[in-house]
Chains A and B, each alone.
Chain A
């Protein structure tokens, strides 16, 4: 009797305590931004260079150049400018003066040299863009505001790749180096940057949360922003529905940049949030293993190209939030031929090509396989749409589920590479090399980007020449010609260029989108109540 009353009493007290605070539970503070996009796996900007890392890096670190606006421009940041020597192999950067790291120490050319040295030794993440052309001995700092890079061979996208490399504070990292690891173990859960926001490491829980405070002494100043955000609280939300609910409820100020098209109307209808729609540079492609019969037969590949319901997918599944992309280069980037006709969905044409392929001896009866990543719903949907159409023309497509790490390792050899698989190619740096260059030059065979195993000597020659020239006017026709050849060969099935949908709360202003970083640049943002 007494025990029961005690328990009931406690229960009542607890409930009262909980209920009384419910108003405080939900509302974020007026000058705090709650950013619910994915955090990178760890905090070392040289460990990986994926979309979450970009979103983190652009705020906590500075780079020599940054990408701004859409269509993106390369804008000097830590550097004031650069010049390329006559041999095309020497690139000289002038640095800004008076830049300080978060710990107050000055940022000079020595830090740039040290950072690149670390990059080339660690050999991960953004290093892939530089390793083929740069040697650690080729980087020198003649004076505190000049850095000189001597390339091993001319490489046109060299400067375009600079937004990938964060400049690190050597003085903070060096005391924490263990076993020659260049401080990787330490930097994974710490920061050593100079950027607009300073992480509060005491709040860091990997992948889940991190708080940041504004850097009042940032070298670019804050005069462009009347009411910059003082505190950013990053919280990762795992489930799509929860994320959208949290945005609508007002618990968070954004979703990730992959808002499902079917949720757009719901967010727009709410009083608390809206949806930003920006065409980015991210191409969805269904790869075909050009070395595995029947995919080695051009007519078969043409049949497949006509068997995908592009319009149905883009208008139906994506509700129009995508742009039909005829070839590998995003339509909004130079190098993509403007009048390139994309393949259309036509089952009769597909049947004709199929018959031709069969006549040429291609094994069209064989069951072919497409590998999808099941938690990326669009890969599943695209595969099923293709399967439906193929069944009507007598081709047997089997859907197999797989995971990204396994898919990547399977592309090391042609016979382990799947018949077909679905993925996107995002913008790592703004240059056609990122798409057509690394996907269709046979020197990249064995990487996931080149997993179509396409080989065409003319295309190789075009791409290699374009890689070495530094004048965009000279490179553009080369890329356009290469695009035409590759599309005519139907090497892969290119579906769309993405329109990025991100839900943001109505109290958030100053959201500026650029394809790299997806607009997660807090510097321009402010909040109204």
Chain B
């Protein structure tokens, strides 16, 4: 098992190098010459040219890449053109918000999706099965920001049950910064009142995001359970007189969630992208909206840094998924 984990870690390195090259190429090929943006709105062409020289935008591409790799190696990802602070600091401040949102969304998706998928498989071709399939797919098909606005209108404006936007009440100090995840930090510092507030704020955004993942997880669980249920060991267990519930939820599920866990890994990466719309509507101070703003303002250092950060997270999550995969199905770990 340890060998498997180490092996997977080693394999991540070329992926990250490839990511560096890919993102650098993309961003230098983008005709986004930020000199004009840097020099200011009323700059003369001479001022813009001076900025271009100062930042080294007129150097050959390969030279810029070498400089860039050197900088990344020493942890210097440069300053955001807009905020003029190290991009690492900008991203570090915003990353926990996105991670928290993504995690809670996935939790919602899994907690609802896995049981739904299992039940649908157990009651195959029944009305419940059909209804579940239609409902979960409907969740996929709804435009996320449209749904977000509906939720806002109903729960924040009409009923006034939930807050309209943001991550935490204006003017209230957030929980002590341990992980940056308000839900976790408030529990760690035993502030249940703060936990409640943070939970109220994350409820709508996470629920909106969870819809897309729900369908995927439910469907793959259903497929996995359907397949496993036909296996011989299930028939044997039934014949041996094990309680049906135990068979399904303990034995079958373990064999079936393989497909679902792969989906969770894939979903994580996609969620960060699709979180953009949700982050914008709810003013969730995360990395998605940061990236979009960076793209719109040609803040190329920020775009690069976000890509690397997301890429890194994604690789880590995938390693975890593979490890879980191997734990659930030890045969996978055998054949490296």
Contact = CB atoms under 8 A, between A and B. Distances in A.
Whether chain A touches chain B in the assembled complex (some CB pair under 8 Å): yes
Interface of A: 13-14, 16-22, 24-26, 28-29, 32, 34, 41-42, 44, 47-50, 123-129, 131-132, 184-185, 188-189, 205-208, 211, 233, 235-239, 241-242, 245-246, 248-249, 251, 375, 403-406, 408-409, 412, 428, 438, 444, 446-449
Interface stretch (B32-40, B119-127, B135-143, B206-214): B32-40
A242 B164 contact: yes
A131 B48 CA distance: 13
Nearest to A181: B84
B73 interface: no
Give the interface SS of chain A, mostly helix, strand, loop or mixed. Answer: mixed
Interface string B16-56: 00000000000000011111111111111101101000000
A412 B32 contact: no
B200 interface: yes
Contact of B197 (A21, A207, A235, A242): A21
Contact of A44 (B45, B84, B156): B84
Q: Which 9 A-B pairs have the closest CB atoms?
A: A17-B196, A128-B42, A188-B84, A41-B82, A446-B45, A206-B83, A405-B298, A18-B200, A408-B36
B35 A238 contact: no
A422 B130 CA distance: 52
A106 to B, nearest CB: 28
B293 A207 contact: yes
Interface string B279-302: 111110100010001001110000
Q: Which of A24, A32, A237 has the most C-beta atoms of chain B within 10 angstroms of its own C-beta?
A: A237
A469 to B, nearest CB: 22
Interface stretch (B59-67, B99-107, B166-174, B218-226): B166-174
A447 B200 contact: no
A17 B152 contact: no
Contacts of B285: 205, 208
B44 A128 contact: yes
B85 A206 contact: yes
26 contacts: A14-B196, A18-B196, A18-B203, A19-B161, A22-B163, A22-B200, A24-B169, A26-B164, A29-B171, A34-B170, A41-B82, A48-B41, A124-B47, A128-B47, A131-B47, A185-B85, A237-B283, A241-B149, A241-B152, A241-B281, A242-B152, A249-B157, A403-B298, A406-B31, A406-B33, A447-B45
Contact of A21 (B42, B80, B193): B193
Contacts of A20: 196
Contacts of A446: 44-45
Contact of A246 (B39, B164, B193): B164
B90 interface: yes
A241 B165 CA distance: 11
